[in-house]
Chains A and B, each alone.
Chain A
Amino acid sequence: MALRLSVSGVFLDSIPRSIGSSLWAISLPVPSLLSDLWDSVLRAAPKKKTSHMKRRHRQLAGKALKDVHGLSKCPACGQIKRSHVLCPHCVKAHPVDIFSLAVTDTQILSASGASSIKVHSTTDTDFRLVQSIDNAHKVGCHHLVTGANGSRAVSAGFAGDLKAWSCEDGYWFADNATSANLAGADAWAVSLSLDGRYLAGVTQNGHIKVWDLGANGALIRDHETKGSFGTCIDLSADGRFIASGHENGAVYIFSAETGRMPFSLSGLVKPVRTLAFSPGGRILAAAGDSKVIVLYDTASGEQIANLSGHSAWILSLSWSHTGEYLLSGSFDGKVKVWSIDTKTCVATHSETEKAVWSVKWLPKIGRTEGFATAGANRSVAFYREATGG
Chain B
Amino acid sequence: MAFPSNPDDRESSVRAYIDHTLASLLHELSQPPSEARPAITLRRRANRTTCIINPNTKALEAQQPAETYRTYLWPGKTAYESWKFTKTDESIWHAAVVVRILSIVDQAIRSHQRISKRDIYYIDPEYFRCQSIVNGVIDELAYTIGVERAALNVVRSDLSLSSISDAETTLVTIGRPTVAGQDTLIPRVEDDDEIDMEGVRWVLVIEKEAVFHRLARNSYYMKAIAGDGILVTGKGYPDLCTRSFVRRLFDTASNSNRRPPQFYALTDGDPHGMGIMSTYKYGSAAHLHDNARLSVPGLQWLGLRVSDAIASSDSPENSPIMSLTARDRKKITAMFQNSPVWASDGPEPEWRTELQRMLMLSIKAEIEILYEQEGGLEGWIDRKMFRQG
Contacts and interface: CB of A to CB of B under 8 A. Distances in A.
Interface residues of B, number: 29
A235 B104 CA distance: 67
Interface of A, helix, strand, loop or mixed by DSSP: loop
B356 A33 contact: no
Interface stretch (B228-236, B238-246, B378-386): B378-386
B356 A6 contact: no
B169 A204 contact: no
Interface string A186-214: 00000000000000000011000000000
A385 interface: no
Interface string B329-357: 10011001100001010000100110011
Contacts of B1: none
Interface in A138-156: 138-140, 142
Contact of B353 (A97, A247, A313): A97
Contacts of B169: 6, 9-10
B352 A113 contact: yes
Interface of B, helix, strand, loop or mixed by DSSP: helix
Q: Output the residue of A32, A159, A229 with the most chain B CB within 10 A.
A: A32
Nearest to A12: B168
A91 B109 CA distance: 65
Given A159-B336, A231-B362, A331-B310, A32 B374 contact: yes
B357 to A, nearest CB: 7
B323 A113 contact: no
A198 to B, nearest CB: 25
A34 to B, nearest CB: 9
B172 to A, nearest CB: 14
Nearest to B385: A33
Given A99-B356, A114-B344, A158-B333, A33 B225 contact: yes
Interface residues of A, number: 34
A97 B310 contact: no
Interface of A: 6, 9-10, 13, 32-33, 36, 95-97, 99, 113-115, 138-140, 142, 158-160, 204-205, 229, 231, 247, 271, 273, 312-313, 331, 355, 357, 376
16 contacts: A9-B169, A10-B168, A10-B169, A33-B375, A33-B382, A95-B349, A97-B357, A113-B353, A138-B337, A138-B344, A139-B333, A204-B326, A204-B329, A205-B326, A247-B362, A313-B361
Interface of B: 168-169, 225, 307, 310, 323, 326, 329, 332-333, 336-337, 342, 344, 349, 352-353, 356-357, 359-362, 374-375, 379, 382-383, 386
